[in-house]
Amino acid sequence: MNLGTRKLFDRAFTALGFGSIAIMGMMLIIVLAPIVSKGVSAIVFRSTVEHRKMLYSEFHRGNRVSLEKEIAASDAARRPVYEMLSEFEAELGLMDEDKQQEYKAKLDQVRTAIKALLGPLPGESEPALTRFKYGQNRWEKAEEKLKELVYEKQWDYSNPDIAAKEYFVSRATAFEGTSLVRLFPYVEKNIDKMLLPEWTFYWGFITDSSVDSHIFGGIWPEIQGTFFLALGAMLFAFPLGVIAAIYFTEYAREGFITSLLRSANSTLAGVPSIVFGLFGLAFFINTLKVSESKSVLAGSLTLAIMILPTIIRAAEEAILSVPKTYREASLGLGSTKWNTIVTVILPAALPGILTGGVISLGRAAGETAPIIFTAAVSVGSAIGLADVFSSPTPALSWNIYNLASEHEAAAEIRHVQYGMVFALISIVLMLNLSAIVLRARISKKLKG
Residues 145-174 that bind other proteins (CB under 8 A): 162-163
Please pick, from the candidates 56, 59, 227, 401, the single residue that binds other proteins as defined by CB under 8 A: 401
Residue from 172, 240, 290, 438 touching other proteins (CB under 8 A): that is 240
CB of 328 to other proteins, least distance (A): 10
CA dist 411 and 400 (Å) reads 13
Query: Segment 32-61, which members bind other proteins (CB under 8 A)?
Result: 32, 34-35
Among 59, 151, 247, 326, binds other proteins (CB under 8 A): 247
Q: Which is nearer to other proteins, 211 or 261 (CB)?
A: 261
- Smallest distance, other proteins to C-beta of residue 87, A: 41
| Least separation in angstroms between CB 290 and other proteins | 14
Amino acid at the residue 437: V
Give the residue, chosen from 172, 432, 434, 438, that forms a contact with other proteins under the rule CB under 8 A: 432
DSSP per-residue letters across 307-356? HHHHHHHHHHHHHHTS-HHHHHHHHHTT--HHHHIIIIIHHHHHHHHHHH
CB atoms < 10 A from the CB of 438, how many?
15
Options 122-130, 202-210, 261-269, 384-392: segment touching other proteins (CB under 8 A): 261-269
Question: Binding to other proteins by residue 404, rule CB under 8 A?
Answer: yes
Q: Is 132 in the site for other proteins (CB under 8 A)?
A: no
Between 54 and 312, CB nearer to other proteins: 312
Query: Contacting other proteins (CB under 8 A), which of 74, 209, 265, 295?
Result: 265
Q: Does 343 bind other proteins (CB under 8 A)?
A: no
- Beta strands 44-47 and 198-201 are antiparallel
Binding segment for other proteins among 88-96, 100-108, 346-354, 400-408 (CB under 8 A)? 400-408
CA pair distance 405, 400, nearest whole angstrom: 8
Is residue 231 at the binding interface for other proteins, with CB under 8 A as the rule? no
Stretch that binds other proteins, among 43-51, 103-111, 147-155, 238-246 (CB under 8 A): 238-246
Helices (H), 344-395: 346-366, 369-372
Q: Does 363 bind other proteins (CB under 8 A)?
A: yes
Q: How far apart are CA 395 and CA 397, in angstroms?
A: 6
From the list 13-21, 43-51, 76-84, 198-206, the region that binds other proteins by CB under 8 A is 13-21
Own/partner pairs, 437-441, CB within 8 angstroms, 24+ separation = 438/351, 438/354, 438/355, 438/358, 439/351, 439/352, 439/355, 441/351
Q: Is 429 in the site for other proteins (CB under 8 A)?
A: yes
Contact present, 290 and 284 (Cβ < 8 Å): yes
Q: Distance between CA atoms of 53 and 15, rounded to whole angstroms?
A: 58
Residues 6+ apart with CB under 8 A from 300: 228, 229, 232, 233, 235, 236, 375, 388
Among 82, 151, 283, 326, binds other proteins (CB under 8 A): 283
Shortest Cβ distance from residue 170 to other proteins (Å)?
Answer: 24
- Residue 354 in contact with other proteins, rule: CB under 8 A: no
Options 60-68, 120-128, 149-157, 242-250: segment touching other proteins (CB under 8 A): 242-250
Taking the complex as a whole, how short is the minimal distance between the CB of residue 43 and other proteins, in angstroms?
A: 18
User: Contacts with other proteins in 300-339 (CB under 8 A)?
Assistant: 305, 308-309, 312, 331, 334-339
Nearer to other proteins, 211 or 436 (CB): 436
379 phi and psi, to 5 degrees?
-115, 145
Q: Counting contacts by CB under 8 A, is residue 366 touching other proteins?
A: yes
Distance in angstroms (rounded) separating the CA atoms of residues 417 and 421: 6
Long-range contacts of 167-173 (CB under 8 A, 24+ apart): 171/106, 171/109, 171/110
Asked if residue 342 binds other proteins (CB under 8 A), the reply is no
The H or E element spanning position 373 is none
19 vs 185, beta carbon nearer other proteins = 19
User: Helix 183-195 to helix 139-150 angle, to the nearest 10 degrees?
Assistant: 170
Of the ranges 166-174, 193-201, 386-394, 395-403, which one interacts with other proteins (CB under 8 A)?
395-403
Nearest distance from C-beta of residue 377 to other proteins, angstroms: 11
110 binds other proteins (CB under 8 A): no
Q: Alpha-carbon distance 233 to 230, whole Å?
A: 5
Is residue 246 near other proteins by the rule CB under 8 A? yes
- Of residues 53, 397, 413, 416, which one binds other proteins by CB under 8 A? 397
Question: What's the rounded Cα separation, in Å, for the pair 172 and 446?
Answer: 75
Burial of residue 270 (CB within 10 Å: 0-12, 13-18, 19+) is: exposed
Question: How far is Cα 85 from Cα 109, in angstroms, rounded to an integer?
Answer: 12
